Structure 1
Amino acid sequence: MLTLYYGLLKGLHDGFLIITINSIGCAIEAFYLIVFLIYAPGKVRIYTIKLVVLFNVGASGLILLSTSFVGKASQRLNVVGWICAVFSVCVFAAPLSIMRQVIKTKSVEYMPFALSFCLTLSAIMWFFYGLLLSDYFIASPNILGFLFGIAQMILYLVFKNSKKEALPEFKLHEMPPNDTVPTTAVQEAIGNTATSERNDVVVTVV
């Protein structure tokens, strides 16, 4: 949204690609949020709505309002450009937590290679776009995006064949009729409380 605002300040001639691409991006992200809010649990839904209101309405609205008081158009463009650059750096730094999880768990389950590759390619293209137009508010943050994208792909290649540590297997054989299945070991493995009454019970937790 902020980059879209930045493109509008540049004007349709200089900011056409920024306006069109970020308009599509806003629409797609809005669709993602709607789908997430439909299927998210109650507490998560409320928390997400608070974040959306805080950042998309509160922070963005405050930035739009405060920068509107900047007199000259060129100064307003520079102020918004710096703000966009800072938020872009935050976006590119966000995957650090995922990279830390990959190193800790030795699993790339939540860091698909295709996403890292496309983000890296996008950062490269936007870097050269900003560089060729001498728009360093666009070019500079994408240097960081390129570096983090390369780091993610390297991590993926390192850990793609690593297997997550499996939970121990528990088997309870030949339980007496109408007896309750002991669940202590099962609870330790899956964190749930469950009992069942069956004849000749065989319980396997993998």
Structure 2
Amino acid sequence: MTGNLAHLTLAFGLLGNFVSFMVFLAPIPTFYKVYKKKSTEGFQSAPYVVGLFSAMLWIYYALLKSNVMLLITINSVGCFIETLYICFFLFYAPKKAKMESLKLIALLIVVGFGLIVVLTHFLASGVTRGVIVGWICLVFSLCVFVAPLGVLRQVIKTKSVEYMPILLSVALTLSAVMWFFYGLLLGDFNIAIPNVLGFTFGIIQMILYFVYKNKKPITNEKISGFEEKINEMEEQKVLEIKDHKIVDIVKLDNLMHYDIIPGVGKMNKNKDVLDHMDVQPRSLPNCTIEVST
């Protein structure tokens, strides 16, 4: 029975390594776009810095335990991949984004992780140190799994799954399932408990994806409605300008036919008479003008 349990634990650990490895490779298309455009544009480095911090934290926890070698293997690979992502990001990021990324790295990796290692090393020992680090890993993992709530809120609000890739959601859900059973079979609840939340949110994401994948985004409807209103206002304005010009022409025509403008109305009234009159130009008499000097 114990042998079967060990084999089952190993199987879930290996599957967890494989699925987690695929999750680590998920951002490759993003960085390919960055490479093609030679700019990070609106992408942020925070997910990769947080991923590096998480991997380092779990490695530290695994080193304090004796039976979680598969945690060390996958998180070592994760540290390597996340470091490559961060270096790639810093290479193509503009100056402002680069400085913000370096500040985050210094705050989270250098100060945060450094304080955890130093404080737990000097203020705790043996099993207590492992328990403290385990709780830190548990709380941090819960925070990481809660982070997608913002994406879920955006999906419900906009009725659009544009920013929620289904393949990544499936991979994260499978990863949570594997690591939950791995931690459960080991009797390590610091590994198992956070993945319950990860599995729950993963299922919710997939449900929302299939609910909203064929729906028209609200934002597009608002934009199209706004554009239609603008077009109507522009057409109305053009019609008003045309009507105004027509009114002005009519007014001018009325002025030309009545005595409001002196002389013009009389000319128009006597137009027929003038047409029948034989008006000859009068010549001036010959005059001689003397100029004295």
Distance 1:153 1:42 in 2: 37
Stretch deviating more after TM superposition (142-151 or 68-77)? 68-77
Stretch deviating more after TM superposition (73-82 or 39-48)? 39-48
What pairs with 1:36-185 in structure 2 (closer than 5 Å)?
36-164=89-217, 165=220, 167-168=223-224
Q: Which structure: greater strand fraction?
A: 1
Match for 1:3 among 58, 61, 66? 58
Which has the greater radius of gyration? 2
- RMSD over equivalenced CA pairs, Å: 1.7
TM-score where L is the length of structure 1: 0.77
SS at match of 1:151: helix
**Structure 2: where are the runs of 5+ without partners?**
1-55, 229-233, 235-293
Distance 2:95 2:149 in 1: 28
SS at match of 2:176: helix
Question: C-alpha offsets along residues 38-75 of structure 1, whole Å, 9 cap, x if unaligned?
Answer: 23333222212211111111110000000001443111
**Runs ≥4 in structure 1, deviation > 6 angstroms?**
none
Question: C-alpha offsets along residues 94-148 of structure 1, whole Å, 9 cap, x if unaligned?
Answer: 1111111111222111110000001000001000000000000000111000101
TM-score where L is the length of structure 2: 0.55
Query: In 2 relative to 1, CA 33–163 (structure 1 residues): closer, same or farther, beyond 3 Å?
Result: farther
**Structure 1: where are the runs of 5+ without partners?**
171-184, 186-206
Q: Which structure: greater helix fraction?
A: 2
Matched, 1:19 2:69: no
In percent, how many aligned pairs have the same letter?
Answer: 58
Distance 1:39 1:159 in 2: 35
